[in-house]
Structure 1
Amino acid sequence: MIRSKTILLLVTFLVILNISLSSNILAMEINKGISFIHELPENIKIKTSYWSDYDSTTWKITDNKNIWIQLEVLDNPNNLTILIEHLHADCSLEAKRPGLDGILQDTMDDKIHEGDQPGFYVSVDHPYYECFLIEGYSKWLIDGWIFYFSGYGAGGVVEERLTETNVRNRGVVGSEISVVYDVLIKDPSTGLYYKYIIHDDFIVYLNGSFEQNLGGTGEKEEVEETKANNKLLDLIVGLIFFILGVVLLLLGVHKYDDALAIVGACSILIGIIFLIVAFVV
């Protein structure tokens, strides 16, 4: 009886550990975010970084959320004056269906509105920070959703309410974030500024992971590869629980140990759930 309780506790611990590790990994992904390195003229090196306060369980299309933005000067060997004249950011739907893919959800701009300084000064010691607050039920998203169900503007009746469940069921897989910086670099010989463009594009998937948006078929292949890896993991975990459950169930029946048989049945059930997720979801 003591051995049966020990096995039951062990199985329960493994299930909790698996769920906990998965949640922590995804939470770390969204908090860690994504970074890009940019090489500018005059051997200037700039790093742009993006992350969110939200975790993998709260990144939802229809919820209000944020993306933190940081631009750092890693190297400026000639000590040139660098300004961020303007920043523009868009958040749009990343979806499998062409009608929904690319629908704008929110947008923002940042620049100095008054004074003689043409932009925000940045240096190795003074990075640029901004926070992109993304509205869940924005006017752009609502209008785009209605437009999608009205036959791309041809007229018709809206068939589904704009809800998180319906958005996901329609093939939306995440949020595409596109950020453009107008960077001003001062020419010491003339005292005038010239402009350099930095453009970053990435996707925050509904599981909280960040990936660079490669576009075209390459992006779709990356999504499918991620799904295939997740399905393989579910398959392996499901088989382990299923086989372990069969062994425990047979031992319990053979030894007339009801507790051991129950543990085996529970393990089989857990295995079946993982297998269903691997093959169906």
Structure 2
Amino acid sequence: MSTVAPAISVRGLRKSFKELEVLRGVDLEVARGSIVALLGSNGAGKTTAVRILSTLLTPDAGTVTVHGDDVVADPSAVRGSISLTGQFAAVDEVLTGRENLVLVARLRHLPDPGAVADRLLARFSLTDAGGRRAATYSGGMRRRLDIAMSLIGDPPVIFLDEPTTGLDPQARIEAWDAVRELAAGGTTVLLTTQYLDEAEQLADRIAILHEGRIIADGTLADLKRLLPAPKVEYVEKQPTLEEIFLAITGSGAPRGVGTTPGTEDPS
């Protein structure tokens, strides 16, 4: 059994807004370097939990530590070890992609902000677009830039709150690739989402938040074992609508499906 302390530890977390009890005793642990998806419907309390973890809200009860620091007792230390990416990309559309990155690097007082920006542009396949204004970016490019900005300063823990809300299928895939890139680099990711396929694609573990409590927590295989044994039937597999869309448009087509020459999106 590993003795390494978790990157995130939540015990008995409670939060109410007047008479509305949003979180009613949440318990959650996130291992270092893993991706955990906090899954729940709208209003389940996902964003409230993330706002407490990122020190933007104070809990009513319970203990929460992030990277070993208590969010109530030492919020400054917590803020120094995290980054938060919300539902809408926080990029300045007047600036170029590179200028957005340089600006954040300067705000964090990092040496050689230009070199920091260039490394992140390359890491997220945005080098060719780095000199363009962010207003000209597609939704997926804007989200990749947003995630790249959140990595400046190498925070060990990143919160992604509904990162693909409003994105088209190709942009979602681009955002998923960016999240996988984070985990590959050793970053701990807590991802909130209401999309089942997103949790299935990305998460090492999945926690289901329902009516203010975690009602299930484990790997996808663990959660599948909570259901009765499946009945085996042989059916013809039909493509999903997303697979059809990607194949027809030629953007990120599934393996084995070719693209039509000349139809690639130049962005």
Q: TM-score range by the shorter chain?
A: under 0.3
Bigger Rg, structure 1 or 2: 1
TM-score (norm 2): 0.25
Higher percent of residues as helix: 1
Higher percent of residues as strand: 1
